[in-house]
């Protein structure tokens, strides 16, 4: 018997009424992305790194438009929305500073008791120094400490270096991907390399056919018009990932990166969902997966 298609509601933070009611028999994910906490870096942080470009971009385009308070507003809706897990698909920071990650962790605290799951975005892996990577590993561990890659509900949390991995949420298999890596100054893409593709295939092969399944990946492989994400700002290996959706191997791909939200429904009801930026666009998504 084929799996039933998921349903996704794209919402904005100013919609306070008529929130989607949760029905019996669904696994619900509350999904947001791209909070882009941006703090003033020290001069030492900026010298000789890509961060100087990111910081200038932040000053020019984002600084006065980031609404960190939207996180608190969304957290207040948790009892009403009743998610089985909360998914954040990356770009916690603007230029990958330790201070930005610390500020983001604090803002994410109210979501921790609701099974927070986080996958990194390109801004979280902005530069290639080891200190920045260790900081990201710590934040990843902190955010995902309630999740396990074997589907159990307690014990050790996920580690960044073990991705891709499957988290099981009340019967929903959610595969976490991390194609974010430091790239050249003029790029903001992710890279789904052959090793990660092979690992993804191996993980998918372990999921029983009747089990609902989704992929969490910062970079959407498909754009709102159905075209593949580009090489400069999108995802290297987008066609491989998009195929997982068009073939029906997964029911949904949940992403961020694009700051305007969108939802693309493919034949068979398979969904590419981009939650947009919670703090810049005020957008988030509520996704319901029918349980077997
Ligand atoms: Fe972003
Ligand atoms: Fe991004």
CB 286 within 8 A of CB 30: yes
Q: Would residue 152 be called left, alpha or beta, if left means φ above 0 and alpha means ψ between -120 and 50 degrees?
A: beta
Q: Give the ligand whose atoms come closest to the C-alpha of residue 276.
A: 1
| Strand order from edge to edge, sheet including 26-32 | 7-12, 283-290, 26-32, 85-88, 116-118
How do the domains of the chain map onto residue ranges?
7-13+26-290
pLDDT of residue 64: 60
Q: Give the ligand whose atoms come closest to the C-alpha of residue 275.
A: 1
pLDDT of residue 60: 67
Q: Give the ligand whose atoms come closest to the C-alpha of residue 92.
A: 1
Please report which residue ranges of 90-129 form alpha helices under DSSP H: 98-108
Mean pLDDT of 106-126: 95
The reply to whether CATH 3.60.21.10 applies to domain 7-13+26-290 is yes
Chain-wide mean pLDDT for the chain? 90
Q: Give the ligand whose atoms come closest to the C-alpha of residue 57.
A: 1
Banded model confidence at residue 148, pLDDT cuts 50, 70, 90: low
- The Cα 247–Cα 29 span in angstroms is 23
pLDDT of residue 65: 83
d(CA 141, ligand 1 centre) in Å: 21
Phi, psi dihedrals of residue 161, rounded to the nearest 5°: -75, -5
% the chain with pLDDT above 90 = 75
- The Cα 247–Cα 243 span in angstroms is 6
Mean pLDDT of 265-286: 96
């Amino acid at each position: 018997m084929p799996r039933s298609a998921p349903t996704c509601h794209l919402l904005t933070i100013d919609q306070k009424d008529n929130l989607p009611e949760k029905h019996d028999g669904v696994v619900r994910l509350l999904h947001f992305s791209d909070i882009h906490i941006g703090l003033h870096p020290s001069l030492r942080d900026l010298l000789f790194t890509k961060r100087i470009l990111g910081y200038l971009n932040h000053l020019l385009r984002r600084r006065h438009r980031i609404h960190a308070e939207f996180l608190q507003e969304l957290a207040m809706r948790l009892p009403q929305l009743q998610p089985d897990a909360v998914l954040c698909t990356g770009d916690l920071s603007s230029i990958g500073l330790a201070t930005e990650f610390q500020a983001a962790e604090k803002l994410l605290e109210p979501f921790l008791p609701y099974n927070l799951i986080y996958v990194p975005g390109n801004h979280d892996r902005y530069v290639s120094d080891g200190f920045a990577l260790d900081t990201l590993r710590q934040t990843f561990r902190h955010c995902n400490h309630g999740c396990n890659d074997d589907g159990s509900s307690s014990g050790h949390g996920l580690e960044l270096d073990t991705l891709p991995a499957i988290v099981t949420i009340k019967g929903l298999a959610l595969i976490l991907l991390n194609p974010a890596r430091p790239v050249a100054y003029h790029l903001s893409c992710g890279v789904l390399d052959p090793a990660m593709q092979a690992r993804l295939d191996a993980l998918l092969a372990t999921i029983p056919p009747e089990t609902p399944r989704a992929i969490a990946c910062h970079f959407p492989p498909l754009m709102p018009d159905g075209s593949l994400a580009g090489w400069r700002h999108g995802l290297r290996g987008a066609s491989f990932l998009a195929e997982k959706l068009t073939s029906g191997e997964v029911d949904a791909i949940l992403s961020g990166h694009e700051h305007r939200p969108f939802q693309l429904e493919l034949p068979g009801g398979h969904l590419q969902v981009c939650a947009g930026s919670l703090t810049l666009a005020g957008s988030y998504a509520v996704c319901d997966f029918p349980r077997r």
